[in-house]
């Protein structure tokens, strides 16, 4: 019952809008519709700022008084302008109006017939029969979905790749395993495969071994890196000698 009431209210509103549009068009003495008249009136107030050069019966060059911006207007095979408004809206743009003003012509012949009151009245000449509820409602059997997505955010699974998502597809190693080269971090990085870097990339449990953050070797971490052990030994020897 509530659906029927809402349907008839919408139908009454639509019919009232159509009736008001038709009566407004019949009582108007203007040739153009209200929308087209308002837009073209804005163009009429502004086309005085434009100057037409090299105008003939088919082509014209329209530019501002300063000559900074230029537009080309063509009449054949159809009215067009380099601003593309006549092609899109099917009415004369401000540059076409400037051309017509320079030639002493009226711009109304270049307005499409859809913007005239006569065409607007022709839209409402045909009777609009009421739409029944049976035409709107389609009785179909709505089936439940075969699979439902679990609510909430999907869980993400981290792939053990030696630390860091940036090394998921490529592993970088220094080309020369030299202590000074490693400490100074100079020279280009060379991408090599895991097999070339270390034949054994998995531990006894079948998991991928992590790389050291200093020497980039597998099998130990940064805290137990041999480079640090050598540096500690050299430091201890130096202080012992002094």
Contact between 124 and 35 (Cβ < 8 Å): no
Contacts of 230 (CB under 8 A, 6+ apart): 179
Q: How many CB atoms lie within 10 A of CB 34?
A: 13
Query: What pLDDT is attached to residue 7?
Result: 72
Rounded Cα–Cα distance for residues 192 and 174 (Å):
9
d(CA 118, CA 133): 33
Of 7 and 100, more confident: 100
**pLDDT > 80? residue 84:** yes
Q: Smallest Cα–Cα separation from 70: which of 97, 51, 88, 89?
A: 51
Task: Please state, in angstroms and rounded to a whole number, the distance separating the CA atoms of residues 99 and 108.
Answer: 13
pLDDT-derived band at 101, boundaries 50, 70, 90: confident
Residue 191, pLDDT score: 39
Q: Torsions phi, psi of 63, nearest 5?
A: -145, 165
pLDDT of the residue at 160: 61
Distant-in-sequence, close-in-space partners of 36: CB < 8 Å, separation ≥ 6: 91, 111, 115
Show me where the domains of the chain are located.
Answer: 17-123, 165-241
pLDDT at 194: 43
């809402």: which residue's tokens? 6
Per-residue pLDDT, 163: 52
pLDDT of res. 168: 38
Residue 108 φ/ψ, nearest 5 degrees: -60, -35
pLDDT band at 144 (very low <50, low <70, confident <90, very high): confident
pTM for the predicted model, two decimal places: 0.45
For residues 107 and 41, what is the distance between their CA atoms, to the nearest angstrom?
12
Q: 4 versus 101: which is more confidently predicted?
A: 101
pLDDT digits over 207-228, tens only? 667 788 878 888 888 788 888 7
Cis peptide bond N-terminal to 77, omega within 30: yes
pLDDT value at position 28? 67
Beta strand spans in the chain (E): 50-53, 59-64, 70-74, 80-81, 172-173, 190-191
């Amino acid at each position: 019952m509530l659906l029927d009431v809402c349907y008839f209210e919408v139908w009454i509103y639509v019919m009232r809008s159509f009736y008001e549009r038709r009566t407004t068009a019949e009582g108007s003495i203007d040739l153009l519709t209200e929308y087209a008249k308002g837009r073209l009136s804005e163009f009429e107030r502004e086309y005085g700022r434009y100057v037409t050069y090299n105008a003939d019966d088919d082509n014209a060059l329209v530019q501002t008084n300063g000559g900074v911006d230029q537009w080309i207007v063509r009449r054949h095979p159809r009215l067009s302008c380099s601003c593309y408004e006549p092609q899109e809206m099917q009415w004369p743009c401000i540059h076409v109006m400037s051309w017509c003003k320079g030639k002493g012509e009226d711009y109304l012949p270049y307005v499409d017939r859809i913007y005239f009151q006569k065409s607007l009245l022709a839209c409402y000449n045909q009777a609009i029969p009421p739409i029944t509820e049976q035409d709107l409602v389609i009785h179909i059997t709505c089936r439940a979905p075969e699979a439902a997505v679990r609510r909430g955010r999907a869980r993400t699974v981290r792939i053990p790749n030696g630390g860091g998502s940036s090394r998921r597809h490529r592993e970088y190693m220094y080309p020369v395993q030299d202590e000074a080269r490693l400490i100074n971090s100079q020279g280009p990085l060379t991408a090599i495969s895991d097999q070339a870097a270390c034949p054994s990339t998995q531990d006894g449990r079948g998991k991928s071994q992590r790389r050291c953050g200093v020497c980039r070797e597998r099998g130990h971490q940064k805290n137990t890196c041999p480079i640090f052990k050598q540096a500690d030994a050299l430091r201890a020897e130096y202080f012992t000698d002094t």
